[in-house]
Amino acid sequence: MAMKLIYIGVATTLLSGAASAADLPRRQAPPVFAAVPVFTWTGGFAGLESAYTFTDRERITTTGNFPANAANVAALRRPPTTYTEQDGVANVGGVFGYNYQFTPGSGFVVGFAVNIDWTDIHKNRFILGNGNAANPALPNPNAFRQSLEWLGTANGRIGYAFDRFLIYGTGGFAFGQVQYDANFYTPAGALQFAGRYTDLETGYDYGGGIEYAIPTDSFLNYFSVGKYLGIKSDAVTIKAEYIHYDLGKRNVLVTAIPGVGTGSYTSRFTTEGNIVRAGFNYKFGGF
């Protein structure tokens, strides 16, 4: 009887322990947190831009190639030195390139970019030179025209990224379509000497800029027109950039109109200025 009571007591204890264990909370696996992706500037990019172009005081010097022509320059009938200034808003431009960021998040970024902007800016300079010795009261008109149809740059760049902000310096090769005209007239208004040069000029450029990658939840994405055109990209960036360019100097031979003038002049044009670009880029995955 005593053994029977012992067995009943043990069984009761075991059942009570099992019931208590069933009441304990179940162990759950710890929650898994997804890592937030760190932004990187590494990858290709392409975009559109507009630009404002303004020049420094571009110098034009004129010399006479024969004694009579040199005498006219010395007497200020033909201007020995003058300047033109050009400015205007570029109609449209484009860019493509590639960046590589050494450390995602914040870190140094290197890359390259090729830009082409249709500047389509022209500047006329009209000067009344002194009159001839026979009739000093009538001036000699002189007209110069300088044009920059489009400007391109092929640059390397290096900068530092603060997450989605990128500040960079840039520089490299500049090229553009120019046209230079020099026309000298008689006091009566007849064209006496004319010269023109139009071609591709090359030189260098340097500058810097700032770029910002728009977060996907930003209201600025309303300006990302590419998404309405089906363009898929990792990010959309907006930028502002300043560039100083120098396309060098060019001599233009200003020759006499047969039967009106004799000899010739040489006018030397300088093409140098500044361009401020603003636009947006689409960033694509690294390759």
Q: DSSP states of 84-132 as a string? A: E--EEEEEEEEEEEEEEESSSSEEEEEEEEEEEE---EEEEEEEEEPPB
- Mean pLDDT in residue range 103-107: 91
> Which amino acid, one-letter code, is at 115?
N
Instruction: Say if 32 falls within a structural domain.
Output: no
Structural domain contains residue 229: yes
Residue 28 domain-assigned (yes or no): no
Position 208 scores a pLDDT of 98
Mean pLDDT check: name the lowest of 58-72, 74-88, 200-214: 74-88
**For the chain, what is the domain count?**
1
**18: in domain:** no
34-54 pLDDT per residue, tens: 555 788 999 999 999 999 988
17 lies in a domain?
Answer: no
**pLDDT classification of 26: cutoffs 50, 70, 90:** low
8 A C-beta contact, residue 223 and residue 279: no
Residue ranges making up the domain that contains 115: 41-283
Over range 89-118, report the average pLDDT. 93
pLDDT value for 87: 76
* Residue 22 is assigned to a structural domain of this protein: no
Please report whether residue 150 resides in a domain: yes
**Residue 36: inside a domain, yes or no?**
no
**Model confidence over 237-279: pLDDT tens digits?**
999 999 999 999 999 999 999 999 999 999 999 999 999 999 9
* pLDDT value, residue 285: 77
Q: How far apart are CA 277 and CA 229, in angstroms?
A: 23
The dihedrals phi and psi of 222, each to the nearest 5 degrees, come to -65, -25
Q: What is the CATH number of the domain that holds 145?
A: 2.40.160.20
Q: Taking residues 92-96, what's their average pLDDT?
A: 93
User: What value does the mean pLDDT take over residues 194-211?
Assistant: 98
